[in-house]
Amino acid sequence: MPPWLAPAVAPGFPGAARRCYTRRMATRSASVDRDFLVVAAIGTGMTARAAAQGGADMLLALHAGRLRVMGAPSISCMLPVANNNRAVQTFARAEILDRVDLPVYFGACVFDPSEDLDALVAEARREGFDGICNFPTAVHFDGAMRQNLEYVGVGFSREVELMRRARAAGMGTCGYVRRRAEAVMMADAGVDILCVNFGWNAGGVAGVPSRYSLDEACEHARQVFAAVRRRRPRIKCTVEGGPITTPEEAQQVAEASRADGYIGGSTIDRIPLETAVAETTSAYKSVAHLQQRIHSLKSEWLGDGHEFGLIGRSAAISSVVQMIRKVADSELSVLITGENGTGKELVARAIHAASRRRDQRMVAVNCAAIPRDLLESELFGHEAGAFTGAVKARVGRFEQANNTTLLLDEIGDLALPLQAKLLRVLEDGSFERLGTNTPRRTNARILCASNQPLRRMVADGSFREDLLYRLNAVEITLPPLRDRIEDIPLLVRQLLPQIAAEMSLRVRQMDASAYRALMRHTWPGNVRELRNVIERAVIMCDGDAVTARDLSPLEPSEPAPDSGAEPAVADGATGAAAATEPALMSEREWIMAALQRNRFRRGDTARELGLARKTLYNKMRRYDLL
């Protein structure tokens, strides 16, 4: 427990002194500064004890919490259904104070003009509360209602004054705010904990729709915290309410805004069973520390493609995940199409991982990376003496993949004779090794991937029409990253910690300027390009947060032209242009520019540059462009 959470022992108040002493003894073995503060805003002793068991750092005793467990919505605490301050004192005295070894803050209401603030603070100390928070609060009101509260002297300004007086009396303070101006007022009043409240929680009993989306909440909290930390660098900044209904969502907002903690109200004590409350609080407590737990929560609660490594919540990627689940247990061949870098092999591995064949290792072949004169032997195997150098028999990939899954990547690079052999395997599972006519059989499930326009290749005669029909029993088309830019923040949050850890660098996040730069780029290289950009940015970053400057020379780009059709080349014009470009730029830049023009299609790039495909591949590997 941080030292600032334990107020000084007040002479003349033996109950408060006894509780504070007990807590201080407990703090001697605790960390002096929590990485992530979890606060439970509750209304009963049951939830108080369960929250403590789950690992909460402190409690807020709120009239709203009491009303929730009675079946009323949190918003009822704003109505004159009871004397808020007397009600809190009564249930806290009977059920919470002296029953938990955590700091307990008093949820004070200042809407009653007859309430004396000094007397209210003194009474809270006498009861044994460790601090005061302003809840219910005027920040939930807008328009004329808010103006009238301020006009008659019982609005937010009075709440700020209550915090000043509580602090002067030696009590801890937690200030609820919504807007930046309110946060600055609370910071200037010296509050220990600042809570940006996004409104009534959508997940509570009789919850109401949130006025913020998760992304809007992230950005709003980030701006508010940046403003108050310039004035009070050591202030504890927390978030609560609105769109946050799960530990994963709390983590998302906390990471994006650099929050120091989370306050849970209806998301905690709306759960009736004490054991469930303990588990929920424990999950909130662990969000900043246990990445494995977060992974399982995402898989269990979100139901998306996180378990497959497919990160994103866009409709486009959700549709892909749904298709994966539908086709995984079938034996149908699947054609996976999409631009380079969109994750076609990842989708193939996801299909295999969700299939009945997942206990066997998937076999993968990149048809574009193997010379054509060796590809037939690679796929079907050969007997000893089948050709020069074949000193012993070799098992091909189709035999290796018996009873498992075989991925044929870049299927469009298969020569027509091999396409005919592949068609036979797809139809009856039979093939022959090179050098023999003895038929063999395989029970491999075939998945194919291509970034080339196969239907156009059928039209120009470079791909068999009957093979295409046999391959695309099911076709899964991966969206380019530019068509799902809303997934970029999620991808960054997944990739950045991994890359920083791999490079042993202490880069933790990206700031808003970097995200804006990423969102403006059109990503011709898709997720693979995004990873390369992040790797470069992590190396270039001088602090713990990547900025737009670290992403240089990444700039907004225009959509690349369709490279499906061959560019017109007149008498070596392309070769001449290619020959002059290296004189104006480095060879790496020359190759990268050509790759971007051709959407990272190596065949098209090699033809444009006048290079052999293998030569281009070797240069890309040398310059780390793969």
Mean pLDDT estimate for the chain: 80
Choosing among 3.30.70.120, 3.90.79.10, 3.20.20.70, 1.25.40.10, the CATH entry for 36-301 is 3.20.20.70
Domain boundaries, given as residue ranges, for the chain:
36-301, 315-477, 482-551, 573-622
Amino acid 294: pLDDT: 54
What confidence category does residue 488 fall into, taking pLDDT thresholds of 50, 70 and 90? confident
Amino acid 181: pLDDT: 95
Average pLDDT over residues 415-430: 88
Q: What is the per-residue pLDDT across 601-615, written as a single tens digit (0 to 9) for each?
A: 888 888 777 778 888
Which are the contacts of 603, defined by CB distance < 8 A and separation ≥ 6? 368, 413, 452, 613
Lowest-confidence pick of 23-37, 74-88, 181-195, 580-594: 23-37
Q: Which comes out higher in pLDDT, residue 447 or 566?
A: 447
Amino acid 297: pLDDT: 55
- For 239, the 3-state DSSP assignment is strand
Q: Which comes out higher in pLDDT, residue 7 or 75?
A: 75
Q: Is CATH 3.40.228.10 the right assignment for the domain spanning 315-477?
A: no
Q: What is the per-residue pLDDT across 362-404, written as a single tens digit (0 to 9) for each?
A: 999 998 888 877 888 888 888 887 777 777 888 889 999 999 9
Average pLDDT over residues 451-470: 91
Amino acid 528: pLDDT: 92
Would you say residue 456 has pLDDT above 80?
A: yes
> Distances in Å between the alpha carbon of 267 and those of 67, 76, 252, 530?
14, 16, 16, 35
Inter-residue contact 390 to 382 (CB < 8 Å)? yes
Would you say residue 405 has pLDDT above 90?
A: yes
Topology (CATH level 3) of domain 482-551: Helicase, Ruva Protein; domain 3 (1.10.8)
> Distances in Å between the alpha carbon of 184 and those of 172, 177, 195, 227, 478?
18, 9, 12, 7, 46
Amino acid 280: pLDDT: 65
408: number of Cβ within 10 Å: 25
Q: Cis bond leading into 553, ω under 30°? A: yes
What confidence category does residue 579 fall into, taking pLDDT thresholds of 50, 70 and 90? very low
Q: H or E stretch including 250?
A: helix 247-257
What confidence category does residue 282 fall into, taking pLDDT thresholds of 50, 70 and 90? low
Would you say residue 563 has pLDDT above 70?
A: no
Average pLDDT over residues 337-347: 92
- For 393, the 3-state DSSP assignment is coil
Amino acid 519: pLDDT: 83
Q: What is the per-residue pLDDT across 523-540, written as a single tens digit (0 to 9) for each?
A: 999 999 999 999 999 999
Amino acid 595: pLDDT: 81
Topology agreement, domain 36-301 and domain 482-551: no
Amino acid 574: pLDDT: 36
CA 212 – CA 223 distance, rounded (Å): 15
Highest mean pLDDT of the ranges 75-89, 157-171, 538-552? 157-171
Radius of gyration of the chain (CA): 32
The position carrying tokens 């104006």 is 584
CA 610 – CA 569 distance, rounded (Å): 11
What confidence category does residue 188 fall into, taking pLDDT thresholds of 50, 70 and 90? very high
Amino acid 31: pLDDT: 32
The position carrying tokens 């497959």 is 308
Q: What is the per-residue pLDDT across 248-278, written as a single tens digit (0 to 9) for each?
A: 888 888 888 999 999 987 666 554 444 455 6
What confidence category does residue 339 fall into, taking pLDDT thresholds of 50, 70 and 90? very high
Would you say residue 494 has pLDDT above 60?
A: yes
Highest mean pLDDT of the ranges 301-310, 573-582, 614-623? 614-623
Q: What is the per-residue pLDDT across 100-128, written as a single tens digit (0 to 9) for each?
A: 889 999 999 999 888 999 999 999 999 99
Amino acid 276: pLDDT: 54
**CA neighbor of 407 nearest in space, from 343, 326, 325, 323:** 343
Amino acid 132: pLDDT: 96
Average pLDDT over residues 507-519: 86
- For 595, the 3-state DSSP assignment is helix
Sign, CA dihedral 541-592-336-406, equals negative
CA 445 – CA 78 distance, rounded (Å): 62
Would you say residue 359 has pLDDT above 90?
A: no
Would you say residue 146 has pLDDT above 70?
A: yes
Highest mean pLDDT of the ranges 170-179, 297-306, 418-427? 170-179
